[in-house]
Amino acid sequence: MTLSEQLAQYIADVRFDDIPQDVVQFTKLCIVDYYSSLLKGQEAEPVRMMEQVAQLIGGEQQATAVTGLKTSITNAAFINGGASHVIELDDIHKASIVHAATVIMPAAIAIAEWKNLSGKQLIEAIIVGYEVAFRVGETVTPSHYYYFHNTATCGTFGAAAAVAKLLDLSKEQIVQAFGSAGTQAAGLWEFIEDGAMSKQLHPGKAAMNGILSALLAQQGFTGATAILEGRRGFFEAMSDEYDVTRMTEKLGQQYKITENAFKVHASCRHTHAAMDLALELHKKVEKSGIDFIKSVEVGAYQVALDITDAKNPQTIYAAKFSMQFCVALALSGEGGFDAFNADTLQDPTIRKLMEKLTVSVDENINSQYPQEWGAKIQIHWQDGSSDVVQSRFPKGDPENALTDQDFINKFNSLVPLEEAHKEKIIHDLLHLETIQVQQLIRTLHPVEHISIV
């Protein structure tokens, strides 16, 4: 059997009733996290541009973009893929370096809305999509990642898998869908040199291409049966080294979605363990006043400091990549998306805190990287006493999991909607296995957008 055939067999076998309750619960929280990013991202400039293009080409009113636009499943996935990635707070899987939500959820939710499927079916499909995307990503990481944006390339396979599950494709059709998905997989890192909007285009297009692949397969359209491992397939063409065992090891015996990690701070992931600790110290700082702080020592792993040792950031974006700024911000009690703004950027209190701060590599922490992305903070007070706090995993890693309430807090802090509206959305999401996806969509977009034809 080719890898695609083994994946197809796995996908066909997944049944909601077999999925452990904690995995279902975790998947619902992944969806909550997706909507936190999506609903916050809808106003961003690249998303508006993607919506303009989608409106221009038009489409059947099958699914709902976050902007409220009723459009084709492919257009909705395109827009929502861009919108859920743009604030850079969406989920991340360390071993595959895949942001799965931003590709798989837009594709799966569009199909579930269109076909009036149940929340159970959506949960099944998302679990399947994550499994495939993570496995493809783990197989080709790290060599593929140097050139290619795994979220886009590996995500295309995941989106195709999720849509194939929702459309109840046969095993043969799923294999063909993977063939079409792999031969459309694209997304180069070159855009990062310009900070260009391709970052949003990638998940949008990957979600769209995943849908197209499954729709084509449903019509009987054929693709390569060994698109992953074949001589001229995805692995050989697009990575220098790859470990094919990652594709099938314990396939069907585990739920890789549970390895997913989440961001609670709106900054570079390498600052997060230290920010967790600084927030923990905030109460003491507030009580004593910052003048009582003599100095703050931040210990981290080498890679973190390679990227984030920046004493004097001058833009909001740069501030998110400054360990000094992020820790000072967190010591003053903040860390969320809105906390990185023009005011905090120049806030004299934060700047004063930054001056008291030194960063250095902590050898113990460094020796555990990359399995652990740890940090240590020692705060020295004016009276000669000090406090030390340490962490091995940033909050949101599986080993330092968010609570259900953490997800809800993140949602509430990010989503620009009325409280009552947010409560209804959270309620639907946390009871997703009991409702149809169209009900969730109606809750999200209570005013029907009537198109006058």
Residues that bind its own copies (CB under 8 A): 45-46, 49-50, 52-53, 56-60, 62, 72-75, 146-148, 176, 179-180, 182-194, 196-198, 201-202, 205, 212, 215-216, 219-227, 230-234, 236-238, 453
Min dist. Cβ of residue 236 to its own copies (A): 7
DSSP code of residue 225 = T
Min dist. Cβ of residue 228 to its own copies (A): 9
Q: Smaller CB distance to its own copies: residue 42 or 180?
A: 180
Query: 413: closest CA among 335, 346, 345, 342?
Result: 335
Query: 152: closest CA among 128, 125, 188, 110?
Result: 188
Q: Smaller CB distance to its own copies: residue 98 or 185?
A: 185
Min dist. Cβ of residue 414 to its own copies (A): 24
CA 253 to chain centroid: 24
Min dist. Cβ of residue 50 to its own copies (A): 7
Rounded to the nearest 10°, the torsion over CA 68, 73, 74, 79 is: 20
Q: Smaller CB distance to its own copies: residue 220 or 348?
A: 220
Q: Is 408 helix (H, G, I), strand (E, B) or coil?
A: helix
Residue type, 134: F
Query: 104: closest CA among 136, 135, 71, 80?
Result: 80
Q: Smaller CB distance to its own copies: residue 447 or 453?
A: 453
Q: Smaller CB distance to its own copies: residue 46 or 129?
A: 46
Report residue 318 as tokens: 């740069």
CB 197 within 8 A of CB 44: no
Q: Smaller CB distance to its own copies: residue 71 or 271?
A: 71
Cβ neighbours of residue 88 closer than 8 Å, sequence gap 6 or more: 263, 266, 320
Min dist. Cβ of residue 189 to its own copies (A): 4
Contacts 24+ apart (CB under 8 A), 396-399: 396/261, 396/262, 396/263, 396/264, 396/272, 397/94, 397/261, 397/373, 398/258, 398/259, 398/260, 398/261
Q: Smaller CB distance to its own copies: residue 43 or 297?
A: 43
d(CA 272, CA 83): 23
Min dist. Cβ of residue 229 to its own copies (A): 9
Q: Is 188 helix (H, G, I), strand (E, B) or coil?
A: strand
Identify how many contiguous H helices and E strands the chain contains and give both numbers.
21, 6
Q: Across-strand partners of 390?
A: 376
Min dist. Cβ of residue 136 to its own copies (A): 14
Min dist. Cβ of residue 146 to its own copies (A): 7
d(CA 194, CA 196): 5
Query: 265: closest CA among 342, 331, 326?
Result: 326
Cis peptide before 142 (omega within 30 of 0): yes
Q: Smaller CB distance to its own copies: residue 84 or 344?
A: 84
Min dist. Cβ of residue 330 to its own copies (A): 31
Q: Smaller CB distance to its own copies: residue 193 or 343?
A: 193
